[in-house]
Structure 1
Amino acid sequence: MIVSIVLTLDRHDAGMNSAPGERLHNLLMALADAALELATDGVAAADPCDGPAYVLAYGSGMARRALRVEALASAVLRHGGMSWDAMAGRREVTRQSLHRRLSARSDREAEAAQRYAGLHSSDFYERLERLESMIARLNEDFDEELAHAPAIWEARRKTPGWWWRAEEEDE
């Protein structure tokens, strides 16, 4: 009985008792926030001079963020009525393998989307603003940076330990 009460309270705290429309709204906001976070990584990685170092430093985090986007997308699809069979068919994998890989993570992300709905919303708009700025800078400077990048990388290749100095400059 005590366990049942605790689980009920946890579900209530996580917003699992909210209206279906509100749950889906919160899931969609969490997905949008996570997708923008991943997009920000992608734009940083596109920098011809510093992108490869960014990927080296943050690549594992980028992979985790991609998995989070996938889990949130599957949660939205599930809340939208799509079956595991239908999702698996689109991915050309078995339902069992997709369910095994995504089910628990999708459920955790769905609960977190409800619990942190306000945070996802505020983060979304901050990330959108940052992403717009990053894209504008990349769009403005990309051709010039790309033209200079081979010479920069060649100079780095000829400078022993350049990566240590670049790391110290970042700190």
Structure 2
Amino acid sequence: MTSEQDDQTYALLAQLAVEALNLASTSSTIAMPADGPAFALRFLPEFRDQLLRVEALATAVLRASGVPWDFLADSYGVTRQSLHRRLADEVRLWKDFSPQYVDLALTEAKKYAREVRKNGQSFETNLEGALAAAVPVWEKRREQGNWRPDL
């Protein structure tokens, strides 16, 4: 591998860390008992987009490392052509984009890691309490009738 290829792989891995940790942060927020379900309603389209970015970046890393489209397609149970048609443009964009923003990616990844850690610690220390406290909140909303989350 050349230094340029190493730099590109590093940049792609940094961007993958951003997107994967962003996805984890969104997931941990959705898991919050009192407001997570309402949050999910608002952010599920973005959640799907985050998941697609993670998929494209993981594919970009694998492709940059020499993994052929045939192998990737076999993992999905689809043809090489269909996987290539679906992901090639985005993989190419990430390969071009990622090296320009490595420092930003590292900063963002650390920010999302802190959010995931904070939510994880909250779940670890007080999940049962948060679940119990959320039940009356949801009951009150149900009794209100026609309650809608602020989106």
What TM-score do you get using the length of structure 1 for normalisation?
A: 0.81
The aligned runs of 1:1-171 (5 Å cut-off) are: 19-163=4-148, 167=150
Structure 1, unpaired ranges of 5+: 1-17
Structure showing greater Rg: 1
Instruction: Name the CA distance, whole Å, in 2 between partners of 1:74 and 1:139.
Output: 33
Structure 2, unpaired ranges of 5+: none
What amino acid sits opposite 1:162 in the alignment? Answer: W
Which 10-residue stretch deviates more, 124-133 or 77-86? 124-133
What TM-score do you get using the length of structure 2 for normalisation?
A: 0.91
**Percentage of matched positions with identical amino acids:** 34
User: Cα RMSD (Å) of the superposition?
Assistant: 1.8
